[in-house]
Amino acid sequence: MDYKNAGVDIEAGYKAVELMKKHIESTMRSEVLTGIGGFSGAFSLEPFKNMEQPVLVSGTDGVGTKLKIAFEMDKHDTVGIDCVAMCVNDIACAGGEPLFFLDYIACGKNKPEKIESIVSGVAEGCRQAGAALIGGETAEMPGFYPEDEYDLAGFAAGIVDRKEMITGESITSGDIIIGIASSGLHSNGFSLVRKVFDIRDENLRRTYESLGGKSLGEVILTPTTIYVKALRAVKEGGVSIKGCCHITGGGFYENIPRMLHEGVHAQIKMDSYEVPPVFDMLERDGDISKDIMYNTFNMGIGMMVTVDSSDADKAVNLINDSGQKAFIVGRITEGQKGITLV
């Protein structure tokens, strides 16, 4: 008896590392001090020593049951983008610059080519965020996960000067809320998505005119948008972001209040932007109420920022110029902390 007979193939692990090296190397930053294969990743903070009060900000998350769609379609090269996005978008909400990322893949059987595909997506997410992929772990766990399934999670660290942190403390009545478009469902609400849609392979590959001629699987596997560059563009354009929220699990109702303080209220205009058709399809096919939709999904807006009314148009233009699409979706009023959809 040996480890391979017990279900863990060490040689496959070595091969997976070799296959992923080129993807990892493509994310490197000058501050990275260690190579691939060490016991830890090291990152120099020397370039940031001129900050008055440097603050480390961090985020950790996974992809959730969206992975079930990847399993069914046998498509694994985009879920890594989702994993990175869920972490670095949270860091960006605090005003932070993502510095590095580490991933964790747990699988029933280590199939090197599949692991490489997953990591290629992680690396793409890191490149979009400007973060280095400095480490990770692939754990082969036979008997714990089915052979063809895996879980994927990650951790990111970033940095911000304390005076530039986005806290929401300065939000006042009259401020404008800007929404930045999502790419679709992102990585939240998939337990409900899987209840509404029959996610067998043949159904996922069926195309729909209402989805622009794309297949259902293609649309719901679309990776999460990474907002790091858009928020950086606003900052570098001289606009002060007073508050910021990443619209993840819990939708509008749970996430928007997270950027507010007591005494201010957010009014959101539902008709201020076009809701992507996949949400209309979910609402109709699942007989889901509007309140539940806005309390579960991002509804086409993946990030919101609050700015002074005098900066609103400039902020929208800066975001649009960065390659993403922004809308003025609401405003701040006095009142109980919370939101109203109008």
Tell me, what's the pLDDT at 5? 67
* 89, 166, 236, 327, 334 from 318: Cα distances, Å: 18, 18, 9, 12, 28
Phi, psi (deg, nearest 5) at residue 101: -140, 145
- Residues ≥6 apart with Cβ < 8 Å to 261: 168, 169, 171, 337
Cβ–Cβ < 8 Å for 267, 257: no
Tell me, what's the pLDDT at 2? 63
Closest residue by Cα to residue 263 from 146, 127, 130, 170:
170
3-state class of 333 per DSSP?
strand
**Could you read off the pLDDT of 188-246 as tens digits, one per residue?**
999 999 999 988 888 899 999 999 999 999 999 999 999 999 999 999 999 999 999 99
Tell me, what's the pLDDT at 201? 84
Tell me, what's the pLDDT at 334? 97
**Could you read off the pLDDT of 157-186 as tens digits, one per residue?**
999 999 999 999 999 999 999 999 999 999
pLDDT band at 37 (very low <50, low <70, confident <90, very high): confident
Tell me, what's the pLDDT at 311? 98
Taking residues 270-275, what's their average pLDDT?
96
Tell me, what's the pLDDT at 132? 98
- Residues ≥6 apart with Cβ < 8 Å to 336: 265
Return the structure tokens found at 24.
């990892």
Taking residues 296-300, what's their average pLDDT?
98
Taking residues 150-159, what's their average pLDDT?
98
Tell me, what's the pLDDT at 38? 82
Angstrom distance (rounded) from CA 134 to CA 30 = 12
Return the structure tokens found at 157.
């660290």
pLDDT band at 9 (very low <50, low <70, confident <90, very high): confident
3-state class of 160 per DSSP?
strand
pLDDT band at 35 (very low <50, low <70, confident <90, very high): confident
Domains, in order of start, for the chain: 10-162 (3.30.1330.10), 176-341 (3.90.650.10)
Tell me, what's the pLDDT at 4? 73
Angstrom distance (rounded) from CA 117 to CA 16 = 10
**Could you read off the pLDDT of 97-144 as tens digits, one per residue?**
999 999 999 999 999 999 999 999 999 999 999 999 999 999 999 999
Taking residues 44-60, what's their average pLDDT?
96
The mean predicted confidence, pLDDT, of the chain is 95
Tell me, what's the pLDDT at 128? 98
Tell me, what's the pLDDT at 330? 98
3-state class of 186 per DSSP?
coil
Count of C-beta atoms within a 10 Å radius of residue 47? 12
% of the chain surpassing 70 pLDDT: 99
Q: What is the pTM of this model?
A: 0.95
Closest residue by Cα to residue 137 from 171, 108, 103:
103
Tell me, what's the pLDDT at 7? 73
Helices (H), 138-250: 190-196, 201-204, 216-220, 228-236
